[in-house]
Each structure stands twice: as C-alpha cells, then as structure tokens.
Amino acid sequence: MKSKSLSALAIFLCAGNLLAGSVRVATYNVETYLDQPTASRPRLKSPESKAKIREAIAAMNPNVLALEEMGGTNELLELRATLKKDGIEFPFWEHIRCFDTNIHIAILSKLPIVASRAHTNEVFLLDGKRFQVKRGFAEVDVQAATNFTFTLFAAHLKSHLATPEADEAEERLGEAKVLRGLIDARLAREPDAKLVVLGDFNDTKDSAPIRQIIGRGKTKLFDPRPAERNGDTAPGEPPYFEPRNVTWTYFYGKTDTYSRIDYVLLSPALKKNWLPAETYIPTIPNWGIASDHRPLVAAFSMP
C-alpha cells in the first residue's frame, strides 16, 4: 500500500479544484491493466486500450477514482503519469495488494487522502473452511474541504468464474458479507458518516451479494443508479420497477449480454447531498477498446 502526501498549501489548492462545491467519485474496471504477463493473465494492455481509458477518465473528470483490475504499482504510476500529461493530475494515490497476485484495487485522488485502512486479511467461512477475500478492500478518508471529509470503500468481489475450492456465488456472498460488516462497524461508531461504497461487485441488484451490501433499515445504502445521459427520462413500468434508461456497465461476449454489476452507493448522510444531474455513465465511442466494463461517476454537494 502506497500513498503520497502534500503540504497544507497544496491540500487547499487541490480542494480548490472542485466544481461549484461538488465532489465527483468514479469507479472503473480497467480489465487487466498489465504491462508484464502472468501465468493466468498473459494478455498485456495495448497502447490503444490505455488511451481509450484515459479518454473515459477525462470525460468524467473525477475528483476521486477507484480502479479495479489494476496491475502493480508500476502500472498505476504509469497511468497516473500519462493522465498528468493529458492535464489530469492526481497527486494522491493508494494501491492495495491482497491474495490475488495479478490484479489489484487502486485509488487516484485529486483531493488529500488523510487516512487509509487497507483490509487485506479479511476471511469468511464456507462449509467450515476459511476463505480469504481475494482482492481485499480499500478504505480511505478523503478531505474535500477544511470542514468536509468523506470515506470511500472500494471493492472488487469474486467473479463468476468457477473455482475448485467453492461455489463462486457463495464466495462472492461471503466477500459481500465481510464488506457489509466493515460498513456496519463504521456506521455503528458514526451513524452520520459520509460513506461512498463503490467498485465492481460482479452481480446484479437483485442478487444476494448486492442486497447484502446495500443493507436495510436506517443504515441502508442509497443506489443513485448512474445511467447514460441520452434523454431517457420516462418512469419505470410498472411504477415499482426501475426506469428504462441505459445503466449497463459490463459486456460479456460469450453470452452477448449486458448487465449492471458496477456500483456507486452512498450512505444515508451522503444521500442528502446527491447531485442527480452529475451522476451518469459516460458514452465513449469504441468504449470496448478500453475494457469490458464502462466507468460510472456520481456526484454530491458540499455544505
């Protein structure tokens, strides 16, 4: 885990980068961002794919960006450096290494990361056996202004690929329960905590893992459901369904299916500050050159 800190003057300069008192947080699975092959992932990220990723990031212009399927720190710093050449500077960064030795969770931030808690040793039980959360969870406190700090949890849950050790759906649910436990512990200490929980959760909203993460009651997380800004504003039919706007984030070529498996969720205290007009999925021509996922961004206001 790595981070970079700046002087107090630079902190205020970074905070001044906000647009009209709003904060934009984004998540992006960049699909095996590797410069060196591994035994299980021989395919390297092409220059064309990297350029398209930077194009998508520029379209969102986030203040804080969570990345899934990032390679090592060298790859993260290479992306950070090329973004800087494009005029998008992220002075602060975190890189989380865990059980999975190939791909990792990372965070790039224009705003100061004032505290970081990498959850890399979390375990859960399945049929009496101990399993480790494969990619861990990032938890960072971000200072958006002198009087406004929020906490961001970033996750990349178990994929749908079968494993000999256990059922992949049960593994994913086990990881989701661990993540929800971290959220509950924080809200128990600080019921009004401003939390952002985001990442590639690898399941649809009606699934057990997503229901587990969202929770229920007073601590239920809010799903702002980012969508394409293509003019779709009609309500859902029947009314208790979600609107029929375009929210898919992942394309699976084998079955030719599109699904929403990437999320940005907000705690009740932060829901009050949500900005619907600045919450969306960018539509990038030839988006699939970058990744099999699309990025999504959500925004909230500051006092």
pLDDT at 44: 92
pLDDT at 239: 84
Q: Please determine, for residue 166, whether its predicted confidence score (pLDDT) is greater than 50.
A: yes
Domains delineated in the chain: 8-301 (3.60.10.10)
Q: What is the mean pLDDT of residues 166-178?
A: 97
Q: What is the mean pLDDT of residues 27-48?
A: 91
- Asked whether 210 and 164 are in contact (CB, 8 A), the reply is no
Q: Give the pLDDT band (50/70/90) at residue 18.
A: low
pLDDT at 38: 82
Q: What is the mean pLDDT of residues 211-230?
A: 98
In whole angstroms, what is the distance from residue 89 CA to residue 84 CA? 5
Q: What is the mean pLDDT of residues 177-183?
A: 98
pLDDT at 3: 46
- What Å distances lie between residue 189 and 57, 82, 149, 192, 196, CA to CA? 34, 40, 16, 9, 16
Predicted confidence (pLDDT) per residue in 238-258, tens digit: 888 999 999 999 999 999 999
Long-range contacts of 34-40 (CB under 8 A, 24+ apart): 34/71, 34/75, 34/102, 34/103, 35/71, 35/74, 35/75, 35/78, 36/71, 38/101, 38/102, 40/102
pTM of the model: 0.93
